[in-house]
A and B are shown apart, each in its own frame.
Chain A
Amino acid sequence: MRFIRESNINFVGRRRIFFIVSAVALLLSILSVLLHGGFNYGVDFTGGTLLQVRFTESVGTDEIRAAVNAVAEGEASIQQDEAGDFIIRVRAREFNTGDSPFSERIRAQFAESFPDNEFEVLREETVGPRISKELQSKVLLAILIGIVGILIYVSIRFDFRFGIGAVMALIHDTIITLGMVSLFNKELTITVIAAILTVIGYSVNDSIVVSDRIREDVKKMRKESFTTVVNTAINQVLNRTVVTSVTTLFVTLALLILGAASIRDFAFVLTVGIVVGTYSSIFVVANSVVEWETRLPTKRRRR
């Protein structure tokens, strides 16, 4: 069985269309972030407290809000997930002010407001302002190290052009994935960042398979134009690209649909990232190398 019989789709010839598609997606992503007024950062990055609370008997969000407001002065955000648990977030300003930390005050307040309703704090995350600042710079550093590491590796193994192509693709994938995080109003937590870094790795993985084939075909098809070689290579690996994406998507989709709430955002980012990564490896990497090659041909090819 196979999805795609021997294909000969003209990807390279239509590269302008794909550039426009990508440009629109990028623009929308950036726009979404801007319109949302930046990301919805989790407590990892803002500092503050997150509590996931489960009550024995059901309680309305308004009652919870009233109780939270009694100790947090309207700074808290409250959400109820599908299991009926409440997720309460308070930003850094409220952290450790007053006599006792917010999490202690809220526990006391819940005990007072709902005397006959037992509650359990399923999860608590409290991050001090200094830690969150450090985390921000650590994350930037990690992403930078990841990107530079890949650029170096790809440049050594292939050609600097492919390195740039791969890095362009991964920046493309990262921006669009982040855009989706913003568009779907997901929280930007350290877990989401981990997923994005994984997407980066995955995206490059795909780019490399394509680049690898181009390199091989360049040697084999000496008479053909560079454009034709690239197009052949993309078509040759198309089946593999699709199969791999599909199998990986099986898993991330299973996690997204059936996984625990805490893993869902992670799975969401991976799912989006794999789709975008697959797209970019077919439509962005090779095409940008072609674009570069047609504008600034290397001496070797001109001969």
Chain B
Amino acid sequence: MKGARFKFAGIVIAIGLAIWALYPTFQLYFSMPGAERALEEKMARATTKDDSLKVELEMAQHQKKLAGLHKRALHLGLDLVGGMHLVLEVDKTKLSKEDAKDAGDRALEVIRNRIDEFGVYEPIIQKIGQDRILIQLPGVDRDRAKGLIGQTAQLEFQLVADERTTYDALKQIDDKLEAVLTGDDGEEEAESDSLLEFGAGDSTVEDTGWASDFEDVEDEKLGSFLGYVQTVGNDFGVDDADYQEFRRLLSGAREYWPEEYEFLFGPAEPHEGRDVRRLYLMRSEPELYGSAIKDARPAPYQGSDPGLTNTWIVNLKLAKKDAAVFAQVTGRNIGRRLAIVLDDIVKSAPVIQSRIPDGNAMITTNEVNPDESRDLAIILRSGALPAPVEIVEERSVGPSLGNDSIRQGVRAGLIGALAVLLFMLIYYAVGGALADLALVFNVFFLLAILSGLRATLTLPGLAGIALTIGMAVDANVLVFERIREELRAGKTTLAAVDTGYDRALVTIIDANVTTVITAVALYFIGSGPIRGFAITLITGLVINVITAVFLTRFVFDWFLSRFEVKKLRI
């Protein structure tokens, strides 16, 4: 057996890779639900507020792990876990030609922003063509999802608190949580930590005095509340992976910072190789609303500041009646930052440079690339000029139906597969055992590759797997029938197996290619579930050919030489 070791190594590596690819899936669907139930029970037993805060922290860790697993595990489609599939179309009938032009982008921006804030695992938000938007929200119930999309966008201008106030508030929360966890009385500790050393009074954006001190704190408090916080440029921020849990912690500690302030986050952005979100403490009461905006357009900078040459800006025009308020706000808060907040997500927080008397403001981006200014202009206009959307397609599946479907689908698939396994064993004896082995590996590899491709397993996808099982047998049947013929023709066992495989290979490939052609056609018509089916089918067929030709052949050869088989029962 030439190259047998090499082949064997290849098979072992493939199996190892498959286990590695499937492990997160296994964890997510088999061990995590138990852990979650345990935590919920613990939560129910918690009597004091401190106790529940502790569990809350554990929950947060659990959520983080869950989010990580979701990123690596095999996805279940909306038809299996429940959730919503929506296609929206922007209604342009009431918009002027100019406004209609980027209505699709405005609507997309608003919806993406809102779903981002909502914290859905693996949502899909895509623009289809000019003015349609596809949204898929797994595991979200219908009413919440519709509420999310139905509202008009809320754009607000809010004043950002200075770094010191922000840090004080964070420290205060940290101390309280720390006290809860260690059982100490938190008050003393909070005072023992002198906060005055961090910058002076109104620190400017350039003042990074607090930042270096802050990093020391970060090290020693790793794992507790402040351990989540890092610096992102001149702002505080948290890792995007920690976003949901950090928000939970914040909401659990609402009483520990001044009432007139709120914590808001920016969108996820890349920072030093990771996704982070900036964190802002700001006055809850908005200074101005989006309705004040008359227009916002991106433009190249044409002023005299040499530092801004070639960069892009946004020209912001406010309605007359709001210009006076704006003048007042800007006049009073020079040097502070005025955040542009869309549906509670901070899209930008420019520093107020001067009093703006006439309602014509300029927001600099310091970017040579126009993208940022274009996006910001879209956001500003989306607040002023909502792009009305209409639902043109909606498919929602309740979670209970999804569960039923999985249970029944898996059971039916297993029974069908078992019947196939038994049949093959009876019909082809040794060969049947081999085909069965190939079949088990087929399904195993198929699931592993689907995990690796980050494909979505839908109900038709499950049927696809079941169908692949039926068809997986075909390749082996072709081979075995051929071997039988060759044996009948009087060939020796070894020769018969050799010729059988060689002759059958062409047929196997031809037969599978045509099925792949139809599966590809399917992929193009289908949305969600049908695509899942097509992908499963294509992957399944490819694996079929590979296992039939390499895996079973290898085992067959090994079997024949190991036991020196003279007469083959097949």
B-binding residues in A (CB < 8 A): 1-2, 6, 52, 96, 101, 103, 120-128, 130-131, 135, 138-139, 141-143, 145-146, 149-150, 153-154, 157, 190-191, 193-194, 197-198, 200-202, 204-206, 208-209, 212-213, 216, 236-237, 239-240, 243-244, 246-255, 257-260, 262-263, 266-267, 270
Q: Verify B395–A125 contact, CB threshold 8 A.
A: yes
- Beta-carbon contact of B514 and A201 below 8 Å: yes
* Residues A251 and B398 in contact in the complex (CB < 8 Å), given A205-B512, A262-B459: no
Q: Which of B322-367 contact A (CB under 8 A)?
A: none
Top-9 shortest CB links A-B: A254-B416, A248-B470, A128-B392, A201-B518, A251-B416, A201-B515, A258-B412, A146-B521, A122-B401
Asked whether, in the complex, the Cβ of B526 is within 8 Å of the Cβ of A190, the reply is yes
Is B455's CB within 8 Å of the partner chain A? no
Give every chain A residue within 8 A of B519 (Cβ-Cβ).
197-198, 201
Task: For the complex, give the distance between the alpha carbons of A141 and B21 in Å.
Answer: 36
Asked if B400 contacts A120 (CB within 8 A), the reply is yes
Query: Which of under 10, 10 to 19, 20 to 34, or 35 or more describes the interface residues of B?
Result: 35 or more
Cβ contact within 8 Å between A255 and B459:
no
Contact of A250 among B395, B420, B481 (CB under 8 A): B420
Interface centre among B393, B400, B428 (most CB of A within 10 A): B393
Q: What residues of chain A lie closer than 8 Å to B423, measured between beta carbons?
A: 246-247, 250
The interface residues of chain B lying within 8 Å CB-to-CB of A101 are: 391
**Binary interface profile of B, 389-427, with partner A (CB < 8 Å = 1, else 0)?**
011111111101100110011011101110110011011
Cross-chain contact A198 with B467 (CB below 8 angstroms): yes
Min CB gap B490→A, angstroms: 14
Inter-chain CA distance A266–B461, complex, in Å, is 11
- Given A198-B518, A202-B515, A248-B470, 13 further pairs, Cβ under 8 A: A1-B428, A142-B525, A150-B517, A190-B526, A197-B521, A206-B511, A209-B511, A212-B511, A240-B477, A247-B474, A248-B471, A248-B474, A262-B459
Residues on A with beta carbons closer than 8 Å to the beta carbon of B521: 142-143, 145-146, 149, 197
List which B517-538 residues lie within 8 A (CB) of chain A: 517-522, 524-526, 529-530, 533-534, 537
Q: List 5 A-B contacts (CB under 8 A).
A: A1-B428, A190-B530, A201-B516, A202-B471, A259-B409
Residues of A within 8 A of B89 (CB): 128, 130
Chain A: which residue is nearest B404 at the CB level?
A: A260
Complex Cα gap A34–B409 (Å): 34
Residue of B nearest to A122 (CB): B401
Residues from chain B with a CB closer than 8 A to the CB of A120 are: 398, 400
Contacts of A200 in B (CB 8 A): 518
Do A153 and B517 touch across chains, with their CB atoms under 8 A apart? Answer: yes
- B204 on the interface (CB 8 Å rule)? no
User: What 0/1 readout, one digit per residue, does chain B (427-443) give for beta carbons within 8 Å of chain A?
Assistant: 11100000000000000
A251 and B537 within 8 A (CB): no
Known: A146-B521, A262-B459. Is A251-B470 also a contact (CB below 8 A)? yes
B interface residue numbers (CB < 8 A to A): 79, 87, 89, 142, 390-398, 400-401, 404-405, 408-409, 411-413, 415-417, 419-420, 423-424, 426-429, 459-460, 462-463, 466-467, 469-471, 473-474, 477-478, 481, 485, 488, 503, 506-507, 510-522, 524-526, 529-530, 533-534, 537
Q: Is the CB of B466 within 8 A of A255?
A: yes
Please give, as numbers and ranges, the residues of chain A lying within 8 Å of B392 by CB-CB distance: 127-128, 130-131
What is the CA–CA distance of A260 and B460 in the complex, to the nearest angstrom?
11
Q: Which of A122, A244, A253, A255 contacts B400 (CB 8 A)?
A: A122
Q: How far is the CB of B125 from chain A (nearest CB, A)?
A: 18
Whether A142 and B398, one on each chain, are in contact in the complex, defined by CB atoms closer than 8 angstroms, is: no
Min C-beta distance of B475 to chain A, whole Å: 9
Chain A contacts of B488 at CB under 8 A? Answer: 6
Given the known interface contacts A194-B522, A204-B515, A212-B510, the answer about A123 and B396 at a Cβ–Cβ threshold of 8 Å is yes
Tell which of B473, B516, B522 touches A142, judged by Cβ atoms closer than 8 Å.
B522
If the complex has contacts A248-B467, A251-B467, are A1 and B426 also in contact, measured as CB distance less than 8 A? Answer: yes
Q: Which of B393, B415, B525 contacts A141 (CB 8 A)?
A: B525
Q: Please, how many angstroms separate the alpha-carbon atoms of A244 and B391 in the complex?
A: 45
Q: Given contacts A150-B518, A197-B521, are A255 and B416 in contact (CB under 8 A)?
A: yes
> Are B396's CB and A124's CB within 8 A?
yes
| Minimum CB–CB distance for B87 against chain A, Å | 7
Q: Which residue of A lies closest to B523 (CB)?
A: A142
Separation of A147 and B524 alpha carbons in the complex (Å): 14
Q: Which residues of B contact A240 (CB under 8 A)?
A: 474, 477-478, 481
Known: A139-B525, A190-B526, A212-B510. A257 touches B412 (CB 8 A): yes
Task: State the CA gap A193–B526 with chains docked (Å).
Answer: 10
Minimum distance in angstroms from B525 CB to a CB of chain A: 4
Contact A208:B391 (CB < 8 A) given known A250-B470, A260-B408:
no
Contact B460–A266 (Cβ < 8 Å) = yes
- Indicate if the CB atoms of B514 and A208 lie closer than 8 Å: yes
Which residues of B lie under 8 Å from residue A259 when comparing CB positions? 408-409, 412, 463
Which chain A residues border B405 with CB–CB below 8 Å? 260, 262-263
Chain B residue nearest in CB terms to A259? B412
B463 interface neighbour in A123, A253, A267, Cβ under 8 Å: A267
Q: B121 CB to closest chain A CB, in angstroms? A: 21
Q: Which residues of A contact B511 (CB under 8 A)?
A: 204-206, 208-209, 212
A159 to chain B, nearest CB (A): 13
CB distance from A92 to the nearest CB of B (A): 12
Is B463's CB under 8 angstroms from A263's CB?
A: yes
| Inter-subunit contact A258/B395 (CB<8 Å) | no
Given that A121-B142, A121-B398, A128-B392 are known contacts, is A191 also in contact with B514, CB under 8 Å in the complex? no
On whether the beta carbons of A124 and B142 are closer than 8 Å, the reply is yes
Please tell me if the beta carbons of A123 and B397 are within 8 angstroms of each other in the complex: yes
Q: Is the CB of A209 within 8 A of B478?
A: yes
- List, in ascending order, chain B residues with CB within 8 A of A145's CB: 521, 524
Q: Contacting A263 at CB < 8 Å: which of B460, B473, B520, B537?
A: B460
Please determine whether B515 and A262 come into contact, CB atoms closer than 8 angstroms.
no
Query: For B514, what are the chain A residues with a Cβ–Cβ distance below 8 Å?
Result: 150, 153-154, 201, 204-205, 208
CA–CA, A209 to B474, complex, Å? 11
Q: Which residues of A contact B481 (CB under 8 A)?
A: 237, 239-240, 243
Q: Closest B-chain residue to A140, C-beta based?
A: B525
Q: For A120, A124, A197, A258, which residue has the most chain B Cβ atoms within 10 angstroms?
A: A197
State whether B398 touches A247 (Cβ < 8 A).
no
The CA-CA distance from A124 to B143 in the complex, in Å, is 12
Residue of B nearest to A248 (CB): B470
